[in-house]
């Protein structure tokens, strides 16, 4: 069986995986094309803009991750960063509902921020694994989170598809898409609540007088050691 902390960690994968399929894969890419077309943007150009936004968002979070990761090693920082990025992602996902039907640029901007929120939260979510379980159970808990993530992403997606295909709700397409955005935000935030309540940072460094400066120093030392190790391995 799982402990309360382990269940809460697993449930977080159930929560945020809805974003992966509903926003990045199923709903938003198609909806963005429609919004861009309504604003007079050609199909090829809107596809390019979507690709650029994904690239910039991914690049930005990739650059920030090592810096934020070293800062988060200090006491209390990891949970704060996780919460910050989670609320950013959820808030931007919810904000999609209020974008005008020709507001393609606003939609892209919110998507970029939501992607940063989702990716950033996942960085700190993964790092909490050592705080919720033992080394012996780590593989089992990680696998369970992965499996429940697939289930968690499927339920809101299937619900949305059923609503769309059956037409059970007499509403316009745009309204249905907005319901999908709302469903994703509520699902993500709602199932993250146990994580907020039960998961805590048990492994940490004591807070330094200048944590940001100390974090950069630790990061550069790590990179230097990696460079030295790489140079040594060249001789084997």
Mean of all residue pLDDT scores within the chain: 89
Burial 176-210 (b: 16+ CB within 10 A, else e): ebbbbbebbbebbbebbebbeebbebeeeeeeeee
176 and 76 housed in the same domain? yes
Supply φ then ψ for residue 135, to 5 degrees.
-60, -35
53 and 136 housed in the same domain? yes
Interval 52-85: pLDDT, tens: 999 999 999 988 888 888 878 888 889 999 999 9
126 and 137 housed in the same domain? yes
112 and 223 housed in the same domain? no
Percent helix, strand, coil in the chain (nearest 5)?
80, 0, 20
Interval 195-227: pLDDT, tens: 999 999 998 777 666 666 666 666 666 666 655
Domain of 215 in residue numbering reads as 206-236
How many structural domains compose the chain?
Answer: 2
Which residues are CB-contacts of 104 (< 8 A; sequence separation ≥ 6)?
32, 35, 36, 39, 41, 46, 49
Interval 119-157: pLDDT, tens: 999 999 999 999 999 999 999 999 999 999 989 889 999
104 and 87 housed in the same domain? yes
82 and 102 housed in the same domain? yes
């Amino acid at each position: 069986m799982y402990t309360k902390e382990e269940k809460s960690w697993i449930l977080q994968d159930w929560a945020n995986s809805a974003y992966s399929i509903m926003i990045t894969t199923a709903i938003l890419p198609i909806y963005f094309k429609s919004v861009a077309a309504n604003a007079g943007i050609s199909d090829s150009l809107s596809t390019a803009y979507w690709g650029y936004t994904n690239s910039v968002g991914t690049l930005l979070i990739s650059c920030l991750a090592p810096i934020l990761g070293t800062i988060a090693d200090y006491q209390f920082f990891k949970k704060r960063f996780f919460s910050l990025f989670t609320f950013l992602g959820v808030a931007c996902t919810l904000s999609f509902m209020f974008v005008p039907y020709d507001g393609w640029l606003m939609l892209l901007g919110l998507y970029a921020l939501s992607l940063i929120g989702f990716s950033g939260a996942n960085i700190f979510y993964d790092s909490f694994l050592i705080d919720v379980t033992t080394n012996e159970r780590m593989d089992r808990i990680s696998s369970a989170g992965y499996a429940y993530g697939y289930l968690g992403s499927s339920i809101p997606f299937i619900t949305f598809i059923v609503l769309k295909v059956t037409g059970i709700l007499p509403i316009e397409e745009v309204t249905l898409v907005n319901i999908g955005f709302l469903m994703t935000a509520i699902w993500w935030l709602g199932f993250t609540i146990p994580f907020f309540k039960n998961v805590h940072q048990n492994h940490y460094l004591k807070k330094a007088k200048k944590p940001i400066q100390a974090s950069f120093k630790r990061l550069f030392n790590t990179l230097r050691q990696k460079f030295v190790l790489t140079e040594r391995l060249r001789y084997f």
